[in-house]
A and B are shown apart, each in its own frame.
Chain A
Amino acid sequence: MSDAHLHDQTEVAPGDENTSIRLRVIGYLVGLGLAILLTAVSFFVAGTDLVWQPSIPVAIIVLAIAQMGVHLVFFLHITTGADNTNNVLALAFGLLIVILVIGGSLWIMANLNHNMMPMDQIMQMQR
């Protein structure tokens, strides 16, 4: 690897990759195949009686997270390579905020619901 080459590859923009056309097309094809597979399993699981019913929501969430990972790696080319550190760190911070917002809202609102009087009793008290 020449020095000039090394200079070019110290960092990449999100979405960039450095390989031949054929390999890049294959990369997108693999991503598409995996995404279609995960989507199909997700839709199948949602409508089937074959699995234990309470496991279905968990399965759908896990499949969705897996598919987002597939999209990130194969379409957006956010990988764990050394040249991608800045992009991954920004993604990690974004994920932290997303988890705090969604998890925090669900937790707080479930707690409020649990502690609140049922709605029909409140309506009766207001009369």
Chain B
Amino acid sequence: MSAVTLGHDEAATPHALEKEHLGPAPKRIVTGYGFWIFILSDMVMFSCFFAAFAVLSGQTAGGPHGAELFNLKNVAIETGCLLLSSFVCGMASIAAEERNAFWFQISMAVTCALGLAFLFIEFREFADLVARGAGPSRSAFLSAFFTLVGCHGLHVSAGILWLLTMMAQVFAKGFRADIQRRFLCFALFWHALDIIWVAVFSVVYLLGSAA
């Protein structure tokens, strides 16, 4: 990137010299890097919610503990949905790079369906908890639980809106360079959500029902 000290044997290393004068990086790399920084800051935000949950997980105020509330079979199905959707999203990335609109739209539709299935199961779980009197106002533990898991759910909802936008844009405008950059960012976002879900099911559900 920067012009570092040019050695005395410039003529001996023409390739190294050439690399120092490449100029600014291509726009795809700059955009991807910027969005990567955003994802990392999003993860820092999630780490605050995780810290709050970890601190408050024992503060049930006489209310139900995680072990009485969580249905691990549901969580396993949710995890499977997100894992598969992440894989299919990878297939969409390959289709986008190969400029194959047919497989791109199919992969994106499958990704969307799996994401919606995840959201549906999560929403049903939340509704069930509230109906059993274990809503976010019941105890500090449940407040932290709904904040953390709900925040991830909101991210998935936003991701699905973005996904539908990408499908429409590719359909209307084709694989233009700017559309490709947007899709690169979308794929990063979708895979990052999966990473956060790994932390959620491990820390909240598995540790919560083990303890």
Contacts and interface: CB of A to CB of B under 8 A. Distances in A.
B203 interface: yes
Which of B36, B76, B98, B207 has its CB near the most chain A CB atoms (within 10 A)? Answer: B36
Contact of B203 (A39, A64, A94): A64
Nearest to B29: A13
Interface in B11-33: 15, 18-19, 22, 25, 28-29, 31-33
B199 A64 contact: yes
Q: Place the interface of chain B in its size category.
A: 35 or more
Nearest to A76: B191
Nearest to B184: A15
B111 interface: no
Contacts of B93: 15
B32 A14 contact: yes
A110 B211 CA distance: 17
Which of B15, B41, B47, B79 has its CB near the most chain A CB atoms (within 10 A)? Answer: B47
Interface string A38-68: 0100110011000000001100110110011
Interface in B71-106: 72, 76, 79-80, 83-84, 86-87, 90-91, 93-94, 98
Given A6-B15, A10-B19, A25 B94 contact: yes
